[in-house]
């Protein structure tokens, strides 16, 4: 098991990609701090993974005490902290005409500043073992969809943070910092959004090739597989890198022949 005896904090892990990463970490031998806002879902996951393997923290990340509380939960439950996965994010639409300063600042706060503060709070523990950090970004970081402007900018800022700290901390104390930029992933929240947009229950079963060359979008467990490798010692000294996980080149893609569209995200 690649993560045996490691303790991993995964924010936003009651659902979606974070949940898949938390489950994969336990399957690989780690102890996990589950975090989120969904008490019932978190407790269900805790039972599923085993109370001997995980602990649950329900806490709003906008609270300035959140980084300290998350780190203390790991130390209190398992005596150490080897890795952090900054997965939790504020998701929402917006463009230059309807995004005010309050909404923009909220995006930047939750999606970039809070991950930084969690890394900062965890650093005294991570540097003891040459730990690892994964920031979960988005392929929207490179530009973003027209109506995802503040979200995209926040993920671009997170990407710069990853590269900066990935270089700085690796040189100082051997702590690795990397980022995964998922593409289109079939999470519970994505399924809910598509239903709200009027699509049927099986909307993801027959997608245009322009969006999904494989005929489907990514599964959370496929993101988790990459995360497990990045957290493991076998990843070696790799740091400051951004891994785009999508089924087609996101930058410099050949012009797609199929121009069929589906309702916007």
Single out the catalytic residue among 116, 142, 151, 211.
151
Give the separation between CA 108 and CA 158, rounded to whole angstroms: 9
Structure confidence by residue, pLDDT tens digits, 179-191: 999 999 988 877 7
CB atoms within 10 A of CB 24: 24
The structural domains of the chain, with segments of one domain joined by +, span: 7-183+218-245
Model pTM above 0.85: yes
Structure confidence by residue, pLDDT tens digits, 10-41: 999 999 999 999 999 999 999 999 999 999 99
Tell which CATH classification among 3.30.300.20, 3.40.50.720, 3.30.470.20, 3.10.580.10 matches the domain 7-183+218-245. 3.40.50.720
Give the separation between CA 221 and CA 205, rounded to whole angstroms: 18
Distances 110 to 64, 69, 121 between C-alpha atoms, Å = 11, 16, 16
Structure confidence by residue, pLDDT tens digits, 66-90: 999 999 999 999 999 999 999 999 9
Known active-site residue 151: yes
Residue 264 has pLDDT above 50, yes or no: no
């Amino acid at each position: 098991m690649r993560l045996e005896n490691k303790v991993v904090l995964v924010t936003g892990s009651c659902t979606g990609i974070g949940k898949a990463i938390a489950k994969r970490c336990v399957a690989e031998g780690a102890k996990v701090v589950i975090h989120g806002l969904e008490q019932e879902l978190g407790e269900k996951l805790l039972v599923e993974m085993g109370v001997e393997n995980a602990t649950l923290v329900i806490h709003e990340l906008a609270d300035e005490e959140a980084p300290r509380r998350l780190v203390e939960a790991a130390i209190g439950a398992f005596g150490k902290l080897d890795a952090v996965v900054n997965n939790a994010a504020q998701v929402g639409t917006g463009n230059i005409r309807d995004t005010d300063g309050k909404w923009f600042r909220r995006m930047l706060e939750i999606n970039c500043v809070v991950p930084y503060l969690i890394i900062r709070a965890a650093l005294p523990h991570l540097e003891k073992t040459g730990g690892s950090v994964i920031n979960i970004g988005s392929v929207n970081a490179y530009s973003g969809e027209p109506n995802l402007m503040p979200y995209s900018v926040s993920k671009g800022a997170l990407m710069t943070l990853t590269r900066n700290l990935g270089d700085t901390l690796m040189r100082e104390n051997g702590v690795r910092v990397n980022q995964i930029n998922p593409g289109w992933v079939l999470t519970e929240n994505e399924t809910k959004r598509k239903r709200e947009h009027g699509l049927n229950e099986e909307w993801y079963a027959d997608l245009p090739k322009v969006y999904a060359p494989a005929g489907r979008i990514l599964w959370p467990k496929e993101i988790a597989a990459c995360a497990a490798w990045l957290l493991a010692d076998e990843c070696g000294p790799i740091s400051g890198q951004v891994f785009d996980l999508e089924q087609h080149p996101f930058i410099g893609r050949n012009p797609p022949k199929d121009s069929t569209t589906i309702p916007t995200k």
